[in-house]
């Protein structure tokens, strides 16, 4: 463990995929401020570079590169490049996913393929590429992103929810396969988070308030509130944590109903 404490990442090399905005950006910032050298990877390479540049101005260690994580060769090349230049790859976090909100009967074949391709194939590509590197070096931590939708759903969430449940099983399987080589694999499952992707929901007050009411804290999360638990999972503080799903949902999945009995 680091002499600075188990939650520090001093000397670690981290790759954060989806680092250009929202949760991914917050995780990249948190890892850099905890002492890691962070590679900010994103399909939108220019925006990822803006995040890395800001971190460098703050005195942190950061770089950026474009990545299309649906293309397996591109993912392997990007992670191999980081490992070759820095001599190791300690941490990989992948946050990207998409959701097409439609009833099952309205879904087109192209929409099914798109959601499955990004949410499952993309994350599988990351898991496999990072796993190849980390099992060879016999150390490392991988975090993928699931969701409360892996457990609970609402109309219009069929394919998205299925992919988030699939990520849980990918993580559990990878944890069992990579564990003997000293590699940990976990998932974070957020509830509702205020990001650029959820801005359309926030713009609809009724929809926004309905989601706020589902949390026992009666509010949405900020990206930073998702980044901190992720930082725990990739740090030595979680050295015996693998194959698990950490729900960061403000109690959304804990509560069943809102009726308060008399006298309470």
- Residues identified as active-site: 160
- Using alpha carbons, select from 191, 232, 264, 209 the residue that is nearest to residue 93: 232
Encoding tokens for residue 82?
């980081």
CA distances from 183 to 57, 96, 187 (A): 32, 22, 14
What angle do the packed helices 158-178 and 123-137 form, to 10 degrees?
10
Q: DSSP code of 193?
A: B
**Do strands 183-190 and 245-248 pair parallel, antiparallel, or not at all (unpaired)?**
parallel
Expressed in percent and rounded to 5, the helix, strand and coil fractions of the chain are 50, 15, 35
**CA 59 to CA 76: how far, in whole Å?**
29
Q: Find all residues with CB under 8 Å of 231, minimum gap 6, and list them.
A: 7, 9, 27, 30, 31, 34
- Cite the beta strand spans of the chain per DSSP E: 13-17, 37-42, 62-66, 91-94, 140-145, 183-190, 245-248
Distance of CA 192 to the CA centre of its chain: 14
């Amino acid at each position: 463990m680091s002499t600075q404490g188990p939650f520090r990442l001093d000397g670690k090399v981290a790759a954060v995929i989806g680092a250009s905005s929202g949760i991914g950006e917050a995780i990249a910032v948190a890892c850099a401020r905890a002492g890691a050298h962070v590679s900010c990877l994103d399909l939108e390479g220019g925006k990822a570079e803006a995040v890395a540049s800001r971190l460098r101005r703050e005195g942190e260690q950061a770089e950026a590169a474009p990545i299309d994580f649906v293309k397996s060769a591109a993912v392997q090349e990007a992670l191999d490049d980081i490992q070759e230049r820095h001599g190791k790859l300690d941490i990989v976090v992948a946050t990207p996913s998409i959701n097409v909100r439609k009833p099952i009967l309205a879904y087109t074949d192209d929409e099914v393929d798109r959601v499955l391709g990004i949410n499952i194939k993309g994350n599988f590509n990351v898991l496999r590429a990072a796993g190849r590197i980390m099992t060879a070096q016999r150390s490392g931590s991988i975090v993928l992103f699931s969701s409360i939708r892996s457990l609970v759903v609402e109309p219009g969430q069929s394919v998205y929810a299925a992919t988030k449940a699939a990520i849980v099983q990918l993580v559990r399987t990878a944890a069992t396969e990579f564990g003997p080589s000293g590699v940990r694999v976990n998932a974070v499952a957020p509830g509702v988070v205020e990001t650029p992707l959820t801005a359309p929901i926030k713009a609809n007050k009724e929809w926004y308030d309905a989601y706020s009411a589902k949390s026992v804290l009666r509010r949405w999360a900020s990206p930073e509130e998702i980044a901190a638990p992720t930082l725990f999972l990739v740090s030595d503080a979680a050295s015996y944590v693998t194959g698990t799903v950490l729900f960061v949902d403000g109690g959304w999945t804990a509560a069943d109903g809102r009726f308060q009995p008399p006298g309470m």
